[in-house]
Structure 1
Amino acid sequence: MIPPPGTGAFLNAHGWGGAAVRPLAGDASFRRYFRVTLGTRSAVLMDAPPDKEDSRPFLAIGKHLDTLGFSAPQAMAADLEQGLILLEDFGDARVNPVLAEDPGAEHEIYAAAVDLLAALHQHPPADVPPYSEAEYLREARLFPDWYLPAVGLVEASGHDAAWAPLWPALFTHPPVLVLRDYHADNLMLLDRPGHQRLGLLDFQDALAGHPAYDLASLLQDIRRTVSPELEAAMLARYVAARPELDEAAFRTAYAILAAQRNIKILGVFTRLYVRDGKPAYPLYHPRLWQMVNANLEHPALAPVKAWFDTHVPASARHGVEVPA
């Protein structure tokens, strides 16, 4: 992966001339990341092409989180016209690979992640758009728009109507800042005295919405298995930390949001393959279907389950085939 044009001049202008630049793992967006090292100093260079990515929300939400005392990488320098941002380096200790090496730390780390959410949700949301009914529906429609044609099915009627009775349950609690991709691959273990133990990544798409969304994202993780026992324990931990919530309503919203998110991701991962030529993402489809089939068994999902049972046969619930 070659650094973008202008990297050398950008680094020179901000005191990093002559630094080594090497690639880091990217994500599902058009953003790319590089580690910049100069002597004992290190930073992360984010390349976010301005014609494809608007980095202003990332910077604003990161600043908001930092002001509240949460650890989000802060910008050391930025040139938004080029789409270049130099960020604090949180290291390499992402929670997912850390737990692969040390599974015994799982309960402690997940407890810290749940406690972080409970603390964040005590604050009003930042100046971000609302997680509206229209947005929930737009996301849910990614499934019929992308997944169904990819497995040879035509869109069936009644999709939007099946979801309609569920949306009111997502507006029963005051909105909080929803980071929208809160899971083990976007959490960093930090060794920084005076800071939160967990660092936050990938929050630029944050909205003001229901507090159960990020909890569902954490506990129904696409990329790593969270046992039903751990999910139940962490859900109970969050509820105990926020006794002011209506627990029954919260748990219902959690079930709906877990289903909505996993169904949406079936569509997103199909789009990443069909439109963007990224063949790794359909490999997650079988795991997603396991979670979706379980999600649909919750009584609150009855209308959506009926739609799936009518229009998405079992033979179409394995995923999109990727040619070898």
Structure 2
Amino acid sequence: MDSSTSDSKPPVQGLIHWADEARAQAFETWLHAQTPVHDLKPHTLRAASADASFRRYFRVDTSAGSLIVMDAPPDKEDCHPFVAVARQLEAGGVRVPHILQWDEAQGFMLLSDLGTHTLLSTLDTQAPMAPGNRGRYLAAIDELVRLQQVPGADQRPAYDDALLQREMDLLPQWYLTALRGLSLDEATTRMLDTTFGLIKAQVLGQARVLVHRDYHSRNLMAHPEQPEARPGVIDFQDAVHGPVTYDLVSLLRDAYVMWDEDVQIDYAVRYWERARQAGLPVPDDFGDFWRDFEWMGLQRHLKVLGIFARLALRDGKRQYLDDIPRVWSYAHRVASRYQGLGPLARLLERAEAPHGGTQTQVGFTF
């Protein structure tokens, strides 16, 4: 199809949906400019994935394989953090997409392709310790240790008190009030303020490293036949300088797949051993590390409850409601276990009581 013909429809408009014809034409022009340089086959363009933002990803074939195209409208998405973190991680030896071309003004990017299989899609959820699962998780742990050793972590924004607070504030605003319809009286609001203060104090006391911030089964690309192969790491643009336990929580207490706590502990021990060998700043005692892991997980899961509610109510992405019971269970278990968190556990029970979320939680302590 000849895009130079004035009355012909741009090929990309026939292959993928565009709400903005002007942007479709700009994309068409840019893509064809890359064709001879990277041996692209524009007629093979198809959707690769979408995320919770305004970014879209497409896959396009070449004679040697395939590449990924990112469409990130500059008025809605700032690509500078993605580019900066990608280059930092790549320089540190982490397996991330290589940036082949970036049109900064228009928000188009051409990237190497890390494959079509997420870690989640390759897991046997009925056999948590199956050899394939174990190989993939140990590979993901090794890659995480590599990521946490990347120099220049303090170049990224700090995961500070203000950011932790903004994230947890999503819980009362979107999950408790907007989604579950609770009316929070003054006493409940004071309790949340006190509880959030306890969580922040514990989390801010942890040693800091580079934090991916969403290191989970949908953001790791796995080899379908080789469980021990290094995973590809994507969706890292929100990286920060923060607590050493954060990314392990994302991996082992994943919002999209749930393992029994003995499995989580098994993998956490493997990580802790590797981290110590690598010289990462984890506690010398695993019990102390596990406590840090649990408190960090509580902060993350309170935030995620708010985010999933917001995605469903504000953005119309109702599929995230299906993941709330899993996230709620993580948060409730920790809140039920540690001194000072009982009122939060009861508030979570009140929110989920009509939805079957008041079962007794059993778990391990050290």
Q: Same fold (TM over 0.5)?
A: yes
Partners in 1 of 2:172 and 2:208 — Cα distance? 28
Partners in 2 of 1:297 and 1:311 — Cα distance? 10
Higher deviation after alignment, 121-130 or 199-208: 121-130
Q: In the alignment, which of 279, 284, 287 is matched to residue 326 of structure 2?
A: 287
Aligned residue runs from structure 1 range 162-201, under 5 A: 162-190=195-223, 197-201=230-234
Q: Provide the residue aligned with 1:154 in structure 2.
A: 183
Q: Provide the residue aligned with 2:137 in structure 1.
A: 110
TM-score by length of structure 1 reads: 0.89
Q: Provide the residue aligned with 1:30 in structure 2.
A: 54
Q: Provide the residue aligned with 2:335 in structure 1.
A: 296
Partners in 2 of 1:66 and 1:311 — Cα distance? 41
**CA pair 249-79 structure 1, distance change in 2 beyond 3 A:** same
Amino acid at match of 2:257: R
Task: Report the Cα offset of residue 38 of structure 1.
Answer: 3.2
Q: Provide the residue aligned with 1:67 in structure 2.
A: 91
Q: Provide the residue aligned with 2:11 in structure 1.
A: none
Q: Provide the residue aligned with 1:13 in structure 2.
A: 33
Task: Report the Cα offset of residue 310 of structure 1.
Answer: 4.9
**CA pair 260-9 structure 1, distance change in 2 beyond 3 A:** same
Partners in 2 of 1:104 and 1:133 — Cα distance? 40
Partners in 1 of 2:105 and 2:85 — Cα distance? 19
Q: CA RMSD in A?
A: 2.4
Q: Provide the residue aligned with 1:273 in structure 2.
A: 312
Partners in 2 of 1:311 and 1:275 — Cα distance? 22
Task: Report the Cα offset of residue 25 of structure 1.
Answer: 2.0
**CA pair 152-12 structure 1, distance change in 2 beyond 3 A:** same
Q: Do structure 1's residue 139 and structure 2's residue 177 form an aligned pair?
A: no
Partners in 2 of 1:18 and 1:115 — Cα distance? 36
Structure 1: state its 5+ residue gaps.
none
Partners in 2 of 1:262 and 1:165 — Cα distance? 15
**CA pair 310-73 structure 1, distance change in 2 beyond 3 A:** closer
Taking only the aligned residue pairs, the percentage that are identical comes to 34
**CA pair 69-303 structure 1, distance change in 2 beyond 3 A:** same
Q: Provide the residue aligned with 1:245 in structure 2.
A: 282
**CA pair 75-123 structure 1, distance change in 2 beyond 3 A:** closer
Task: Report the Cα offset of residue 296 of structure 1.
Answer: 1.3
Q: In the alignment, which of 71, 76, 101 is matched to residue 52 of structure 1?
A: 76
Deviation per residue, 1:252-304 (Å, 9 max, x gap): 221111111111111101101111111111111122222222121231xx334
Higher deviation after alignment, 49-58 or 114-123: 114-123
Partners in 2 of 1:309 and 1:56 — Cα distance? 42
Task: Report the Cα offset of residue 316 of structure 1.
Answer: 4.6
Q: Provide the residue aligned with 1:235 in structure 2.
A: 268
Q: Secondary structure at the match of 1:242?
A: helix
Amino acid at match of 2:135: E
Aligned length: 314
Partners in 2 of 1:227 and 1:311 — Cα distance? 21
Deviation per residue, 1:28-61 (Å, 9 max, x gap): 1111110011333421111112112111111111
Aligned residue runs from structure 1 range 308-319, under 5 A: 308-310=345-347, 313=350, 315-316=352-353, 318=355
Partners in 2 of 1:23 and 1:224 — Cα distance? 24
Partners in 2 of 1:311 and 1:216 — Cα distance? 20
Structure 2: state its 5+ residue gaps.
1-15, 358-366
Partners in 2 of 1:181 and 1:133 — Cα distance? 19
Deviation per residue, 1:80-135 (Å, 9 max, x gap): 22211111111112111112499541111111111222233234415210000111
Partners in 1 of 2:294 and 2:90 — Cα distance? 30
Q: Do structure 1's residue 209 and structure 2's residue 248 form an aligned pair?
A: no
RCO higher in structure (CA 8 A, sep ≥6): 1
- Are 2:199 and 2:299, in contact at CA under 8 Å, matched by a contact in 1? no
Task: Report the Cα offset of residue 173 of structure 1.
Answer: 4.0
Amino acid at match of 2:142: D
Higher deviation after alignment, 220-229 or 178-187: 220-229
Q: Provide the residue aligned with 1:121 in structure 2.
A: 148
Task: Report the Cα offset of residue 314 of structure 1.
Answer: 5.5
Q: Which has the larger radius of gyration?
A: 2
Partners in 2 of 1:88 and 1:94 — Cα distance? 16
Q: Secondary structure at the match of 2:355?
A: coil
Amino acid at match of 2:27: T
Q: Provide the residue aligned with 1:306 in structure 2.
A: 343
Task: Report the Cα offset of residue 72 of structure 1.
Answer: 0.5
TM-score by length of structure 2 reads: 0.79
**CA pair 170-315 structure 1, distance change in 2 beyond 3 A:** closer
- Are 1:163 and 1:304, in contact at CA under 8 Å, matched by a contact in 2? no
